Structure 1
Amino acid sequence: MEELSDMRFNVLKMVFSKWYDENRCLTMLKVLFREHVGVGKLANIRNTMDLLNDLVRSNRLSPRDLTIICDTITVTKHYALQRKIQETFPSFPDIREGLISTKFTSHRQKLMKFGMALTPADVRQIDGLYNTPCKEYEDAWTMIIDLEKNLKIKEDMTDFYQSLEALNLRLALNALKEDIANTPSALGTNFTSPALVYRTRPVGSPHIQEAYRMTELSSLEFNQLLGNVSSWWEHYGNVNMLKVILSEFKVIPVSLMEEQNQPRSLFQLLKGSGLISQSNVDVIIETVVLGGQSGVEPKIKESIPTFPGLNQVEINSFSKHRRNLLEFGKVIGTSNKERIGYLFDLHVPELKDQWCLIFQLEKRHILTEDLHVKQAFVNKIMDNGMIAEAQALNTY
């Protein structure tokens, strides 16, 4: 990307700042930038623009070096922001999941993955373990800031790992332990945006593979596809089942997922996280197939004649665990839904259907991809005579 004039650089900062402020991500950014901005300064920053201006003053961001902007999008997984920026700056680099960050340490990136994996219930448990009385943190990021300040979270994570194990927060612990393949020490940091050294993941390792690929849609076609699928799902599908399907993607906070009651708003979360775009509709197409909504195909073809159809779709974007959960949901009857709810101390009146049950089991880490957790759950329901349900969880 060419060096920007001062005016265009300010416009870029405005677009970037508005995005993170509107998505209420300032505390997330304060966690991310702790190694670039002094802790005292961070405490007084009130908006994203203040944060960017401090980076400019310290020469970490400039009109000729936008690397830290690109890396921020990569690490926070706000990939849709790239397209927003490209509306004004077409030469802004393409950023995709799996790119290498060169500006943030492995430790910092792990904390970001950790924060994204935490549910509000997780935050309350950690708060209760470390604070008497509880501080009642506003969100995961506020908690991480406080625990770093009080040296409960630090480079040596051994003690903190043990705390998470004691609370049985396996998903959050796994996110914190996940290896970060490339760090600044390996790549160096002295390069400018025209020579970004990002590289994509090796073929075969992505979370979303490219087995089903339509030609890139126009903005109108893409919005029409979202509208058709959303309307169809609202009339013939189950929005709670859709929440279970889309819970595959941990980049979407559980709390945000739980708040949505319309298919369209759930698909907008996919769009905002960069999981679907005009050039990649794999996830939405596979979701239609998994959710048994193939009847929408003729409707899609009315507005997108080039739509290749659903017959040959391969499920590559969703894990075997996710598909097992869907099979599990299909065999749970009303009485067994309530029995499972009572077994695991879930508030049964709030479990409107089996999909609400599964969503809560996942949210509370009672049923997860972890083999030990899953087996304990399977054993429990088998002990209570729910053989078909147990078998469904081992379909794939």
Structure 2
Amino acid sequence: MANKREIRFIEFLRNFGNAYKGNKCRWLRFLLYDYVSLSLLACEDITGHQLLNEVKERGNINYTEISLLSEIVEVTNVKVADNLVQEYATKEDATKEKTIPPYRKAISTYRKALFKALREVSTDDLHKLYAFYELDSEGLTNIWDIVFHLEKQKRLDDTKEKIKRFASMLNPMAKAILEDIDVTTLTDTGTNPQSASSTEQVTRLGEPSAHKDLTSKKFKLMLSKTAKWYKDKINMLRLLFNDIIQNAVEHKDVSSLFKALNDCADLTRKNYKVLIDMVRVTDTRGVVEDVKSLSDANKDDEITSFSPYRQQLMEMGKVLSPQEAKEVGYLYDVPDDEYTDQWSLILHLEKSKNVFADGAKEIIKDLNDINLQHVASKLITKTNPNKRSCSPDVPKSKKKKKR
């Protein structure tokens, strides 16, 4: 059960999100671009509350740490949100409890300056952007949607060249703001060191790829062959992509998961690193024999497509046998017909049972109590105890005693 502080935090997030409605929700989407999956950001009817919930579930804010939200208020100057932060911080300080050390503030210089510049964009600027970037003026009716589209397609980021090109389309006031960005905070490769809030944050998919660009035909062939190879591993991939693809569990087959990635530009013929990282995280390198384009999976490059937390859940699934999965399912009151293997069980625990709501500490203890130390060990070394994978709104079921 959530304690009073968690309940107060949930209510605070709901009110904070409601302070960013209409065009202000687009502001929030822009400022949280580095914190939320592209699949969620791309939803047309996304709300501020939904955005904040995902940031919370990824562990970047919690009931003792709201510096990111304070920074958003500083940038947007939304008075209602400012009042909410001040009121919540005052009540939180009154508890006089030891709080978690604050995360590093992480709205980058690039994003702050670009936000300020976008507030100055004129109608004439929009027409120039439509023409220069060959954009659909009917589908992209405002500057925030235009910039989201450009960033999603990697046509705008924190590289000096792309910012200069974008700024050249703007009026003198907006252009001057971007020209005043401290160049030492920018890069030549689009990897601003301030763009991540912590080492646990999910790295944005779709970053520049070192892999060979594929023709459209070869790319489709790669996806088709890869999907067939993983057809019996759909539950494993649902778990792997669960914080990248919205409602991943509802996708019926692997091809559908890949299409969702492609629709959000997380998987393209020029950048298919997410598939290479998929092979490495799932330890299924046998696919390389059938799909030569994935040969880079045999290299030791850094995995950037999935968070350490997601990788830990995958490690847990690899060592959890069918019989052990039944023991865990019984412990958490999961009926046998609610899962078919260890992967679907972990998905169920992550979402429906809220087992990971307060981090992995409790489940590690539970696994040790039923002599599954080898499974518990997979959640110890890299999992951030402050990370949240499920909303505290979902009540945790009462556990049964071991048979």
Matched, 1:215 2:185: no
Partner residue in 2 for 1:311? 298
Cα separation, 2, equivalents of 1:322 and 1:118 = 15
1:360 pairs, out of 323, 348, 370, with 348
| 1:258 maps to which of 249, 269, 272 | 249
Report if the CA contact (8 A) 2:212-2:270 is conserved: yes
The alpha-carbon deviation at position 300 of structure 1 amounts to 2.1
What does the per-residue CA deviation read over 1:339-373, in whole Å, with 9 as the maximum and x for residues that have no partner? Answer: 222322323321111101111122147344x7x52
1:114 aligns with 2:52: yes
The change in CA–CA distance for 1:180 and 1:283 in structure 2 (over 3 A counts) is same
Query: Does the Cα contact within 8 Å between 1:211 and 1:316 map onto a contact in 2?
Result: no
- Give the residue type in structure 2 aligned to 1:349: D
For 2:52 and 2:40, the matched residues in 1 are separated by 21
Once the two structures are superposed, residues 142-183 of structure 1 have per-residue CA deviations (whole angstroms, 9 ceiling, x without a partner) of xxxxxxxxxxx9664469989xx9xxxxxxxxxxxx965545
**Aligned match of 1:268:** 259
Counterpart amino acid of residue 227 in structure 1: S
CA contact (8 A) 1:228 1:299 kept: yes
Deviation per residue, 1:299-356 (Å, 9 max, x gap): 223xx5xx65432142222222222212211222233212222322323321111101
Shift, 1:274, TM fit: 1.9
Is the Cα–Cα contact under 8 Å of residues 215 and 269 in structure 2 kept in the other structure? yes
* RMSD (Å), alpha carbons: 4.5
Tell me the CA shift for residue 287 of structure 1: 0.7
Residue in 2 that maps onto 1:230:
227
- The residue number in structure 2 matching 1:196 is 166
Call closer, same or farther: CA 1:384–1:295 in 2, change over 3 Å.
closer
Deviation at 1:36, TM superposition (A): 6.9
**Aligned counterparts of 1:78 and 1:320: Cα–Cα separation in 2:** 18
Tell me, yes or no, if the aligned pair for 1:271 and 1:277 is still in contact at 8 Å. Answer: yes
- Aligned AA (2:298): N
Match of 1:387 among 349, 366, 373: 373
**Normalising by structure 1, what TM-score?**
0.52
Q: Which residue of 2 aligns with 1:297?
A: 288
Distance 2:266 2:19 in 1: 24
Counterpart Cα distance in 1 of 2:41 and 2:48: 22
Q: Which amino acid aligns with 1:377?
A: I
Q: Counterparts in 2 of 1:93-172, with a 5 A limit?
A: 111=49, 113-114=51-52, 156-157=83-84
For residues 64-103 of structure 1, the aligned pairs below 5 Å read none
Identity of matched residues, %: 21
- Paired positions, count: 254
Amino acid at match of 2:255: R
Residues 32 and 386 from structure 1, CA distance in 2 versus in 1: closer, same or farther, beyond 3 angstroms?
Answer: same
Letter matched to residue 189 of structure 1: R
TM-score by length of 2: 0.51
In structure 1, runs of 5+ residues without a counterpart are: 1-29, 38-66, 83-107, 120-152, 166-177
One of 229, 234, 242 as aligned partner of 1:247: 242
Segments of 5+ residues of structure 2 without an aligned counterpart are: 1-17, 58-79, 93-104, 133-164, 168-177, 179-185, 197-202, 383-403
Q: Which amino acid aligns with 2:380?
A: N
Q: One-letter code of the match for 1:320?
A: P
